Amino acid sequence: MKRFENKNIVITGSAEGVGRTIAYEFAKEGANVFQADLSVPEKTVELIRSLGKEAPYAICDISKEQEVIAMAKKAAEVFDGKIAILINNAGFNGKANLIKDMKLSDWQYTLGVNLTGTMLVSREFIPYMMKQNSGAILNTSSNVGKRGLPYRGDYVCSKWALLGLTQTLALELAPYNIRVNAVCPGPIEGERIEQLVRMHAEAENFSFEQMHKMWEDVPLKRFSKPEEVAEVVKFLCCDESSMLTGQALNVSGGLIMY
């Protein structure tokens, strides 16, 4: 029996990167996956359908309240109001700016997606989980949700705040048997990390190769694989972790150890 056989999950930010891998890995284990993203998640839909499963989705900017409300309504209709797992993976990387040069609009946009957007999505799906007296919510934070990082103040603060939201929701929803946890990845292999390394290299006057080597300099000496992050996400959402709530697990190759 697959761990998530016939369980209905909603995942935001699944069109690419680790979100795509997470969606596909859940589908491989039998889950019914509803996706929400800024654009049509074509590749993820193709992967899920290759398993012989449906791949419903909604185009949604999670920073916009009415779009989130409409997306949640569509997902509830697809799943007849039964939502087992919510994965808040959508996020924005921000730009490479020191705080002294930060534009208010950039700050507000990053927090609007990463923090307010996660709150809005959670808010809309919580009532369905409360009604069934069960559920799991997983928030994608970051290793910089536990440490500072120059040039990324808006992103860092949004990911720290996500851990506060995770713990608060864990306490609020425990009476309804709804667990809320977070994952804190380090750099993950893929196009996104290559773009980030290049962005930081330009901002900090390093070569791409120098910056890449610095970011790889964790105890395990490599970036995480998307599948490694997905495995931790699945663990936090499965029955084997039934006594875990309010936790933030690191997947950072030893970069963060608390």
- pLDDT tens for 19-65 read 999 999 999 999 999 999 999 999 999 999 999 999 999 999 999 99
pLDDT tens track for 105-126: 999 999 999 999 999 999 999 9
The answer to whether 241 touches 235, Cβ cutoff 8 Å, is yes
Pairing of strands 57-59, 32-37: parallel
Token look-up 């995942």 returns 11
The answer to whether 247 touches 162, Cβ cutoff 8 Å, is no
Q: List the domain boundaries for the chain.
A: 8-187+225-251, 190-223
Q: Tokens for 123?
A: 């808010």
Closest by alpha carbon to 93, among 171, 4, 198? Answer: 198
Whether the per-residue pLDDT at 1 is higher than 80: the answer is no
**Active-site hit among 57, 151, 155, 176:** 155
CATH of 8-187+225-251, one of 3.40.50.720, 3.40.50.10880, 3.40.190.10, 3.30.420.280: 3.40.50.720
Closest by alpha carbon to 158, among 193, 166, 254, 11? Answer: 166
Residues 6 or more apart in contact with residue 70 via CB below 8 angstroms: 58, 60
Residues 6 or more apart in contact with residue 30 via CB below 8 angstroms: 2, 3, 4, 5, 6, 7
The answer to whether 183 touches 229, Cβ cutoff 8 Å, is yes
109 is catalytic: no
pTM, entire model: 0.97
Q: Is 126 helix (H, G, I), strand (E, B) or coil?
A: helix
Using CA atoms, how far apart are residues 105 and 107, in angstroms rounded to an integer?
5
